[in-house]
Amino acid sequence: MQLVETDGGFDLILAGRAMLRQRSDAPCLYVGRGAPRVEMYHGHFDIEDNVEERVGLRYAALTRVSDGSARIALSIAPALPPLVTLTLSGGAQDARIHIDAIDPTLNRLWLRVVADKGEHVWGGGEQLSYFDMRGRRFPLWTSEPGVGRDKSTLLTFQSDQKGKAGGDYYKTNYPQPTYLSSRRYALHIDTTAYSAFDFRQEGWHELEIWAAPATIELWARDAFTDLVTALSDRFGRQPPLPDWVLKGAIIGLKDGATSFDRLEKYAASGAALSGLWCEDWVGLRITSFGSRLFWDWKWNATRYPDLDTKIKELHDRGIRFLGYVNPYLCVDGSFFPEAEAAGYLAKKLESDETYTVDFGEFDCGVVDFTNPAAAAWFAERVIGQNMLDFGLSGWMADFGEYLPTDVRLHDGTPGMLAHNAWPVLWAEVNARAVESRGRTGEALFFMRAGYSGVQRHCPLLWAGDQSVDFSRHDGIGTVITAALSSGLLGNAYHHSDIGGYTSLFGNVRTPELIMRWSEMAAFTAVMRGHEGNRPRENVQIDEDEQVLAHFARMTRLYAHMAPYLRALSDEAVATGLPVQRPLFLHFPDDPATYALQESYLYGADLLVAPVIQPGVDRWSTYLPAGTDWVEVWTGNLHVGGRAVTVDAPLGKPPLFYRQGSAWTELFTGIAAVI
C-alpha cells in the first residue's frame, strides 16, 4: 500500500493500482444524512431515501503513523473541523480503509473508488440477472428476488399488482457488498447496513453506505483465482461435499406418504439417487392460496406415517432423507409458546409484545438470533433434536430475508442494521446444529438467503425460486449468473430447483424446460428436483416417460462425474475456488470472456454451455483463447478464441474439455453414459 501526497490531496495505491484519488476539486468521500422510507410486504421491500445533505470532503489532513498506516482527517474546508477520519492500513497486497464519522449525525457515506473506462466488475453476492455489473447502480439488501423481475413482462406486472412481487433485476436473496474488478483487485464493504454500488461512471465507482463507521477491505492479486482464495479466506471456507450426495440426484417430492411410492418409479427408471427431499415432512396448512407447510419444525406423523423407520430403510439403500426448516414459528404450533415463554422471540418496537409476521393467513414469531440463548435453543431443540436426531441428512434452510426493520432485538441492533445480517445468523444456527452432532461435511443444508460471511456456515447455496420458464430475468439462465457471481465470493457449491419453482398466472413448466434444466444440473455441485409451488398444475418428472428417462440418464451423468466433482470439492477446501467458474477465472488474458454469463467452467477443464432457450437444437458459445477444446459428444476439436455453434439436441448439452486434460478419460466417457 502506497499513500502518495499530492497538491491538495492524496492517492492510495495498492500493488500498483490506484484505488482512491483525493483532490480538493474531486473528493473521494461524500458524507451526509438521509432518512429512509421502508415498506415491507411478504419479503419485498420498497426503500426510498430522502437525502437531506450530501457534501464532498474536499480537504484532507494526513498523519502518517510509524507502523506504515496513516490517518487522514477530512473536512469540507480547511477552516472547518474534520467530519470524518480515514484510517488506512495494509500491506503490499491488502489494505483497509476504516471510515469513522466524527460528527455523530452523519449516517450516509459515499466513497469513490478509481475506475477505468473498460473495467468489468463482478460479484455483489448472488446476482441473478447481470454478472458484469458495470453500467448499473443498485442496492445490496436481502429480499425476495421477485417473480418475473423484468418490468417489461406481463408476468412481472401481474406479480407486482398481486402482492408487490414482481421484483427487479438486482433483487436477490443473497446480496453482498463485495466485488472483484478486472483491474485485479477485490473490494468489500464491512457493514450490514443498506448499501449500494454505483458502477455507472467512467472514472469512478461510488459505494453508498447507510451507516458509519464502515470499513473498506481491499485485495490486489495478479491472478483472479488468488482473489477468490483471498475472499474465501476472508469469508470462510466451506466443508467438502458429502460423499453420499455425489452418488446421484436428490428427488424433490412433497406428496406425503405417496412420495415414497413415487421415489420407486424414479429408482425403476435407473436414475442414480442420493436422496429424497420432502419439504412437507412437517405437514400442511390449507389456506385460500393453496397448501402451505405447517411451520412447526418436526415430523408430522399424519402426513408421513412411519417416517422414522422409512428413513432408516432408505438410508440402508444409500438414499438419504431431507426435510425443511425456516427461522419462523407459527403461532399455532408447538414451538411458538415454548420460544415465547423463554423470551426468544423478537418484539415490537414500542411494546413488549411479540412481533408477528403475516405469511399469508398465518402469523409467525421471529426467533431472535441476536440472543445467543435463542440461537442455541433453535439449534439444539429444533434442528438438533427434531431434525438431525430424527434422522434427517439435510434440509432446505429456507428464508432469512424477511427480518422487518421495525423490530426490537435482544442485542439492541436496529432493524436496518440487523436485516442484512439475518441470513448469516440463520446459517450459523444451522451450521452449529450440524456441528453439535459432529456431522459437518456430512449433513447437507442449503440456503437461498445470504450476506457477507454466509460462506463460513452454509455448505450449499440454492438459487431460490426461479419461474418455470426460459425468461431472461427469472428463468433457467439466471441460475448460471447466480452460481458465477456467488462463486467468486467464495461460495463453492451452488445448485437450483430442476425445472424452476414459481408457476403463477398460467405460466407452467414444459417437459423441454425440465430436460434442459436437468442437463445443466448434472454439471453443478448438486442435482436436486422440486415439484414447484403448484405441483398439480405443472408436469412432473415422473409423469412423463420421456422426461423421466432423460432425467435418469442425466443423474447417471452426474454420478459419472463424481470423481471429478470430488476433486473440485477438494480444490474448494484447499483454495476456495468454486465448482462453477466464470471463464475469465482461468483465462484472464482473454478479455472476450469477461462479460460472459451463459456458460461456465465446471472446474478448470470442462466448459459447460447449457441450452437456456426453448425450441433450439443448435447452440453458440465462446471458447476461450489459449487452448484447444474437444467437443464431448463428437470429439471434434475447436480452436479457442472464437465462438462455435454446435448441435445441441435434447440430451446433449454443449460440453467442451481442454485438450490434454488429465481428466480426458472421464470426459470422453460422458458420451458413453446411456
**Cβ within 8 Å of residue 615, ≥6 positions away:** 512
Tally of CB atoms within 10 A around 510: 17
* Binding of residue 161 to its own copies (CB under 8 A): yes
Nearer to its own copies, 17 or 137 (CB): 137
Out of 77, 223, 301, 373, name the contact with its own copies by CB under 8 A. 77
Total chain residues near its own copies (CB under 8 A): 16
Residue 543 falls in the annotated catalytic set: no
Residue 32 is a binding residue for its own copies (CB under 8 A): yes
Nearest of 18, 191, 13 to residue 116 by alpha carbon: 18
> At 436, which helix (H) or strand (E)?
helix 415-436
For residue 154, state whether it binds its own copies (rule: CB under 8 A).
yes
Nearer to its own copies, 28 or 666 (CB): 28
Shorter beta-carbon distance to its own copies: residue 5 or 53:
53
Query: x/- contact string, 103-142, with its own copies (CB under 8 A)?
Result: ----------------------------------------
**For residues 8 and 26, what is the distance between their CA atoms, to the nearest angstrom?**
10
- Binder to its own copies among 30, 390, 505, 633 (CB under 8 A)? 30
Which residues are CB-neighbours of 309 under 8 A, at least 6 positions away?
none
CA angle 626, 628, 633 (to 5 degrees): 145
Q: Yes or no: say if 470 and 611 are a contact pair by the CB < 8 Å rule.
A: no
Q: Does 54 bind its own copies (CB under 8 A)?
A: yes
Cα 498 to Cα 551: distance, rounded to the nearest angstrom: 10
CA–CA dist 187, 209 (Å, integer):
14
Binding segment toward its own copies, per CB under 8 A, in 151-159, 573-581, 616-624, 629-637: 151-159
52 binds its own copies (CB under 8 A): yes
Contact 291, 573 (CB under 8 A): no
CB of 113 to its own copies, least distance (A): 16
Window contacting its own copies (CB under 8 A); options: 39-47, 71-79, 458-466, 603-611: 71-79
Is residue 61 involved in binding its own copies (CB under 8 A)?
Answer: no
Among residues 164 and 658, whose Cβ is nearest to its own copies? 164
Q: Which stretch binds its own copies (CB under 8 A): 12-20, 38-46, 75-83, 113-121?
A: 75-83
Binder to its own copies among 17, 49, 69, 157 (CB under 8 A)?
157
Q: What mask of x and - would describe binding to its own copies in positions 468 to 507, judged by CB under 8 A? A: ----------------------------------------
In this structure, what are the phi and psi dihedrals at residue 158, rounded to the nearest 5 degrees? -65, -40
**In terms of CB distance, is 55 or 102 closer to its own copies?**
55
Count how many Cα atoms sit within 13 Å of the Cα of residue 209 in the half-sphere of its side chain. Answer: 28
Work out whether 79 is an interface residue with its own copies (CB under 8 A). yes
Q: 25 or 67: whose CB is closer to its own copies?
A: 25
| Interface with its own copies, residue 56, by CB under 8 A | yes
Task: Give strand ranges (E) for 221-319.
Answer: 249-252, 273-277, 284-287, 290-293
Alpha-carbon distance of 208 to 185, in angstroms, equals 19
CB of 17 to its own copies, least distance (A): 25
Stretch touching its own copies by CB under 8 A, among 47-55, 471-479, 501-509, 633-641: 47-55
152 binds its own copies (CB under 8 A): yes
- Comparing CB distances to its own copies, the nearer of 137 and 237 is 137
Of residues 58 and 171, the one with the C-beta less far from its own copies? 58
Residue whose C-alpha cell is 454500488: 197
Active-site residue, from 132, 279, 401, 519: 401
User: Closer to its own copies at the Cβ: 150 or 380?
Assistant: 150
Residue 80 interacts with its own copies (CB under 8 A): yes or no: yes
Which residue's CB is nearer to its own copies, number 54 or number 566?
54
CA 298, 304, 306, 312 dihedral sign is: negative
Give CA–CA dist 570/444, Å, rounded: 16
Give me the least distance between CB of 161 and its own copies, in Å please. Answer: 6
Residue in 206, 208, 465, 474 annotated catalytic: 465
Least separation in angstroms between CB 261 and its own copies: 44
How would you class 19 by CB atoms within 10 Å of its CB: exposed for 0-12, middle for 13-18, buried for 19 or more? buried
Residue 217 designated active-site: no
One-letter amino acid of 109: L
In whole angstroms, the minimum distance from the beta carbon of 168 to its own copies comes to 14
Neighbours of 543 (CB within 10 A): 13
Q: What is the CA radius of gyration of the chain?
A: 25
We find the least distance from the C-beta atom of residue 54 to its own copies, in angstroms, to be 5
Give dist(CA 40, CA 47) in Å, integer: 9
Which amino acid, one-letter code, is at 461? Answer: L
The interface mask with its own copies, positions 586-625, x = CB under 8 A, is: ----------------------------------------
Spatial distance between the Cα atoms of 218 and 513, rounded to a whole number of angstroms: 41
User: Does residue 55 touch its own copies according to CB under 8 A?
Assistant: yes
In one letter, which amino acid is 328?
A: Y
Query: Least distance from C-beta 212 to its own copies, angstroms?
Result: 17
> Segment contacting its own copies (CB under 8 A): 152-160, 214-222, 353-361, 502-510?
152-160
Residue of 343, 340, 386 lying closest to 363 (CA atoms)? 340
Q: How far is the CB of 206 from its own copies (least distance, A)?
A: 10
Closest CA to 141 of 485, 474, 417: 417
- Which residues does residue 275 pair with via DSSP β-bridges, in sequence order? 250, 320
Residue 203 within binding range of its own copies, rule CB under 8 A: no
Catalytic, out of 94, 279, 296, 398 = 398
Cβ atoms < 10 Å from Cβ of 395: 25
Please tell me whether residue 51 binds its own copies under the rule CB under 8 A.
yes
Q: Is 518 helix (H, G, I), strand (E, B) or coil?
A: helix
Q: Encode 554-577: b = buried (16+ Cβ within 10 Å), e = exposed.
A: bbbbbbbbbebbeebbebbbebbb
H/E element holding 51?
Answer: strand 44-56
Residue 605 is among the residues annotated as catalytic for this protein:
no
Is 77 or 223 the residue whose CB approaches its own copies more closely?
77
Ordered DSSP codes for 152-202: TSHHHHHHHHTTS----TT-BS-EEEEEEETTTEEEEEE--S-EEEE---S
Q: Phi/psi at 207 (nearest 5 deg)?
A: -105, 125
Binding region for its own copies (CB under 8 A) out of 76-84, 624-632, 635-643, 654-662: 76-84
Contacting residues toward its own copies, per CB under 8 A = 30, 32, 51-56, 76-77, 79-80, 152, 154, 157, 161
Active site residue ranges: 398, 401, 465
